[in-house]
């Protein structure tokens, strides 16, 4: 057999092994190295750390507040997408749409209440998560930057809740946003500009509803998703979940 024919035959025989190696990216090493390589080389498993300290998983230490907040965010995204099929950001139709959800759309009132109560719960759990991080000292080095990201996430959560207030276009929503925008107007120097930017004018009307709608369904969720990605990435880079200092 010629040398070229032998090399072609050998390449065909090695093809399955090469395909497997290109997918898994695993090499030879100790048992622990092989286990770590299995995690790093898998498309889904690599999202999780190779090792987690046992005390980081204690329910009494973290209470799962961060994960609960993240799951509530996913529920809000899913329920919000469904609500967008039945909502029109118009001062003439918004309140009517809310009434249709309550009395006409099948399970519409359940869908709206899931979105509403999940929003209230997310504000509460994000705040509790921040309190837990502060109480356990998890904001200290090397996690200072991630603490700042968490503060921004709390602010985004509050803004998401606030912008959602106007969308039903009922009396509670109208006056809540009126009071909120007036408070922003009292800010020194920039107050009038910020209020005008929020409302798209000098009063709560169609432009304000449209701006709050775009902020609520596009701008703020994208910002929240980006900050969440950075937040989770920094948890991995900073050595995983925090744990008690004496462990």
Residue 18 lies in a domain: no
Kindly report, residue by residue over 180-218, the tens digit of the pLDDT.
Answer: 999 999 999 899 999 999 999 889 999 999 999 999 999
Q: Does the pTM of the predicted model rise above 0.75? A: yes
Q: What is the DSSP string of 57-95?
A: G-HHHHTTHHHHHHHHHHHHHHHHHHHHTT----TTTHH
In a domain, 107, yes or no: yes
Contacts of 182 (CB under 8 A, 6+ apart): 195
76 found inside a domain: yes
Q: End-to-end alpha-carbon separation of the chain, Å?
A: 65
138 within some domain: yes
- Domain annotation covers residue 30: no
Contact yes or no for 73/81 (Cβ under 8 A): no
CATH code at 205? Answer: 1.20.810.10
**What gap in Å lies between CA 128 and CA 245, rounded to an integer?**
21
Q: Is the pLDDT of residue 44 over 70?
A: no
What band does 114 get if pLDDT is binned at 50, 70 and 90? Answer: very high
Domain presence at residue 5: no
Give me 213's structure tokens.
């709608």
Considering the domain boundaries, does residue 204 fall inside one?
A: yes
Q: What share of the chain is helix, strand, coil (3-state, %, to 5)?
A: 75, 0, 25
Residue 6 domain flag: no
Residue 174, both tokens:
């109208």
Q: State the sign of the Cα–Cα–Cα–Cα dihedral 16, 20, 25, 30.
A: negative
Looking up tokens 């500009």, which residue turns up?
193
Using CA atoms of 99, 101, 103, 107 in order, give the dihedral in degrees to the nearest 10: -160
Q: What percent of the chain has pLDDT over 70?
A: 84
- Total of domains in the chain: 1
**pLDDT classification of 61: cutoffs 50, 70, 90:** confident
Tell me, rounded to whole angstroms, the distance of Cα 37 from its chain centroid: 29
User: Do 204 and 166 contact (CB within 8 A), yes or no?
Assistant: yes
132, 62 Cβ separation under 8 angstroms: yes
The span from the CA of 96 to the CA of 94, in Å, is 5
The 10s digit of each residue's pLDDT in 129-173 is 999 999 988 888 888 999 999 999 999 999 999 999 999 999 999
The whole-number pLDDT of residue 138 equals 87
Q: What are phi and psi of 246, to 5 degrees?
A: -90, 10
Which residue range is the domain that position 75 belongs to? 63-238
């Amino acid at each position: 057999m010629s040398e070229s024919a032998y090399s072609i035959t050998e390449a065909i025989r090695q093809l399955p092994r090469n395909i497997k190696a290109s997918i898994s990216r695993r090499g030879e090493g100790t048992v622990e190295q092989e286990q770590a390589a299995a995690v790093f080389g898998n498309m889904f498993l690599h999202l999780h750390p190779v090792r987690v300290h046992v005390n980081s998983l204690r329910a009494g230490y973290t209470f799962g507040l961060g994960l609960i907040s993240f799951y509530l965010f996913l529920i809000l995204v899913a329920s919000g997408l469904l609500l967008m099929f039945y909502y029109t950001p118009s001062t003439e139709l918004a309140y009517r749409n809310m009434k249709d959800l309550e009395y006409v759309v099948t399970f519409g009132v359940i869908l709206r209440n899931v979105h509403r109560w999940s929003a209230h719960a997310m504000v509460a759990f994000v705040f509790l998560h921040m309190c837990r991080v502060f109480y356990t000292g998890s904001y200290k080095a090397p996690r200072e930057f991630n603490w700042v990201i968490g503060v921004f996430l709390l602010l985004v959560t509050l803004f998401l809740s606030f912008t959602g207030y106007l969308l039903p276009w009922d009396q509670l929503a109208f006056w809540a946003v009126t009071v909120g925008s007036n408070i922003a107007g009292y800010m020194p120097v920039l107050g009038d500009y910020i209020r005008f930017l929020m409302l798209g004018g000098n009063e709560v009307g169609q432009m304000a509803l449209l701006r709050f709608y775009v902020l609520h369904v596009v701008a703020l969720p994208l910002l929240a998703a980006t900050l969440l990605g950075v937040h989770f990435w920094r948890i991995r880079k900073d050595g995983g979940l925090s744990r008690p200092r004496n462990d």
